[in-house]
């Protein structure tokens, strides 16, 4: 398995020295994210496909849906699964079909943040109790890894869930009819809250000591390779914490954790505002496309009606 390229000793020392002086290689403040871009599929019939970029980090998420049987012990719930794929496109150190530590951490935290926190109401995915339900699957692909893939992946997943529309269904007796997007307006998913992952990285404020730590948000890949620990806080815009995950050997005091929670809350509100803005823009663009397609179809029908017979 190829190893990840690590910074040289000179680069490592330079990054740490700069951080101790509140400086970063890209001139950002320590608590500022890189430019965030969120786009959806341009196809008016495609829902739940998102492309998120945070700086050079790029994550693609796609939601798919099919009808199947529920779990025997969860007869009134649908099925929701999250799959993360890390391949050589994202980083030369990743191999297809071989689980990396990053992939394990990514899957575990996203599972706790979104599925176990009840962000998606799985009861709304039930069609016939104990017989049929919707099986929802989220596939997350890391296309480019330049640090902070967890925050980007969680944002892409939440955006895809809020953008996705499941097919409408009707039930007559024991017969279930699933309608396509063209036949009936698809239905939004029922979301109870919108959690986001905010990761804080820690660095020693002076060489050889971990007593006083420097906190940095949205680290690049080089900055991640120099950190001594990290703390990922999953929370929504109301300040409700879903999960806290700490990695690395450095110890973090309780007061530092509370400080990170307060800082993470502001970033969660930022993600929530950005997501709502992009969803509104996409809905407006889709309605304009649907309206234009309707006018074209109406004009075509008029031309057919005016065509002479015989």
- With tokens 């074209």, the residue in question is 296
**Cα of 217 vs its chain's centroid, Å:** 17
Domain 9-306: CATH superfamily, name plus number: GHMP Kinase, N-terminal domain (3.30.230.70)
Query: pTM, whole model, 2 decimals?
Result: 0.91
Query: pLDDT (tens digit, 9 = 90+) per residue, 278-287?
Result: 999 999 988 8
In this structure, are strands 132-144 and 79-86 parallel, antiparallel, or unpaired?
parallel
Q: Which residue has the higher pLDDT, 291 or 205?
A: 205
Q: How far apart are CA 225 and CA 203, in angstroms?
A: 11
Supply the DSSP string of 84-149, one letter for each residue: EEE-TTT-TT--TTS--HHHHHHHHHHIIIIITTT-B-GGGGEEETTTEEEEEEEEEEEEE-SS-H
State pLDDT tens for residues 44-94.
889 999 999 999 999 999 999 999 999 999 999 999 999 998 888 888 888
d(CA 28, CA 33): 8
Kindly report, residue by residue over 176-235, the tens digit of the pLDDT: 898 988 888 899 999 999 999 999 999 998 876 667 899 999 999 999 999 999 999 999
Contact assessment for residue 6 and residue 226, using Cβ atoms and an 8 Å cutoff = no
Please state the three-class secondary structure of 29-56 as a single string. Answer: CCCCCCCEEEEECCCCCCCCEEEEEECC
């Amino acid at each position: 398995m190829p190893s990840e390229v690590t910074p040289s000793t000179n680069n490592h020392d330079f990054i740490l020295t700069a951080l101790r002086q509140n400086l970063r290689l890209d001139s950002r403040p320590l608590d500022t994210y890189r430019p965030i871009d969120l786009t959806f599929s341009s196809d008016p019939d495609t829902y739940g496909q998102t492309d998120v970029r945070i700086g050079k980090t790029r994550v693609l998420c796609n939601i798919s849906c099919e009808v199947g049987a529920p779990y025997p012990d969860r007869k009134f719930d649908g099925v929701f699964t999250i799959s993360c794929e890390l391949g050589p496109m994202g980083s030369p150190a990743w191999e297809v079909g071989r689980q990396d530590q990053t992939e394990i951490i990514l899957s575990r935290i996203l599972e706790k943040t979104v599925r176990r926190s009840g962000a998606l109401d799985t009861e709304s995915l039930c069609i016939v109790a104990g017989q049929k339900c919707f099986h929802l699957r989220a596939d997350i692909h890391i296309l480019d890894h330049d640090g902070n893939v967890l925050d980007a992946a969680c944002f892409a997943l939440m955006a895809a869930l809020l953008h996705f529309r499941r097919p409408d269904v009707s039930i007559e007796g024991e017969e279930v009819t699933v309608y396509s997007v063209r036949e009936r307006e698809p239905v939004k998913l029922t979301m109870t809250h919108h959690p986001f992952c905010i990761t804080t990285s820690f660095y020693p404020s002076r060489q050889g000591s971990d007593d006083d730590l420097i906190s940095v948000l949205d680290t690049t890949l080089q900055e991640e390779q120099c950190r001594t620990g990290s703390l990922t806080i999953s929370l929504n815009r109301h300040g409700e914490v879903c999960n806290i995950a700490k990695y690395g050997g450095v110890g973090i005091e309780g007061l530092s954790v509370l400080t990170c929670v307060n800082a993470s809350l502001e970033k969660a509100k930022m993600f929530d505002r950005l997501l709502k803005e992009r969803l509104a823009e996409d809905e407006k663009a889709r309605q304009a496309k649907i309206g234009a397609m309707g006018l074209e179809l109406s004009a075509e029908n008029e031309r057919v009606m005016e065509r002479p017979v015989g």
